[in-house]
Amino acid sequence: MNKVALIIGAGDAIGGAIAKKFAKQGMTVCVTRRTESKIIELAKEINQSGGKAFGFACDARKEEETISLFKQIEEEIGEIDVMVFNVGANVPMSILDTSSRKFSKIWEMACFAGFLNGREAAKHMIKRNKGTIIFTGATASMRGGANFAAFASAKHGLRALAQSMARELGPKSIHVCHVVIDAAVDTEWIRQIHPEYDKKIKTDGIVDPNHLADNYIYLHNQPRDAWTFELDLRPWQETW
């Protein structure tokens, strides 16, 4: 049976890099995103590079879509050995401009979707008494900054979810991890908005997504007697 790495939210930077790294480990990679054309391109790139990948258009916030996704992969492709939840929702806005609809949408993307996908992964892994579930966190997982009330509350919630799942599922040999990325990551968005991008990228002040991905591989391969729950990743220039 194929061992599958499922990456929820396989975007152009972090998620895509994680998917490519797992493919290089010899795993079959399943990648998801809401936009079908973008996810198909990523799967095609991995396949052309010698890996094995399948792309799925899926809204991680939708319960029926999520249940169907996991069921299809398990029945048609292989056992999900690792699931990475990498959905973002980093939308800055003043609390004065945050409508209930915006707050709910950000919470759905960054926290509720994590619950849905984490639950479904656990349901399948529990049958085999093994597996890895990794949640991607952010600076907002640890502290709420000005203009990030909605995002910080959702990321705090995702971290609490991961903590509870780790305590429940660890004794059943399922490794649950939370990765705090406390830094600017080299993405198209950062290239456009960061005032010191050119300077920072030359001095390793901005994180390379491929280097982040290496840590996800490390977490998945950890022996059971020395598991990491939370990994804090930051470039040397980042302040604590």
Query: Given a cut of 90, is residue 12 above it in pLDDT?
Result: no
Residue 57: domain span: 3-232
Closest CA to 14 of 203, 184, 220: 184
In the chain, the amino acid numbered 84 is V
pLDDT for 225 equals 95
- The answer to whether residue 85 is domain-embedded is yes
What mean pLDDT is predicted for residues 45-55?
97
Residue 169 lies in a domain: yes
pLDDT exceeds cutoff 80 at 19: yes
- Whether residue 83 is predicted with pLDDT greater than 90 in this model: the reply is yes
Q: Smallest Cα–Cα separation from 16: which of 230, 208, 194?
A: 208
What's the pLDDT score for residue 186? 77
- Residues 137-191 have pLDDT tens digits of 999 999 999 999 999 999 999 999 999 999 999 999 999 999 999 888 777 767 7
pLDDT for position 201? 80
Q: CATH no. for residue 220?
A: 3.40.50.720
How much is the mean pLDDT over the chain? 93
The confidence band for 1, taking pLDDT boundaries of 50, 70 and 90, is low
Q: Does residue 238 belong to any structural domain of this protein?
A: no
Q: Does residue 239 form part of some domain?
A: no
pLDDT at residue 190, as a whole number: 75
Q: Average pLDDT of 127-136?
A: 97
Separation between Cα atoms, residue 115 and residue 136, nearest integer Å: 13
Is residue 118 one of the residues assigned to a domain?
Answer: yes
Cβ(152)–Cβ(145) below 8 Å: yes
Give the count of domains, the chain.
Answer: 1
pLDDT score at 240 = 62
What is d(CA 216, CA 8) in angstroms, rounded to the nearest whole number? Answer: 14
CB atoms within 10 A of CB 175: 22
Residue 216 falls inside a structural domain:
yes
Q: Which two tokens stand for residue 106?
A: 């950000």
Distance CA 29, CA 19 (A): 6
Please report the pLDDT score of residue 105 as a whole number. 95
Residue 222 lies in a domain: yes
The answer to the question of residue 175 being in a domain is: yes
210, burial (CB in 10 Å: exposed 0-12, middle 13-18, buried 19+): middle
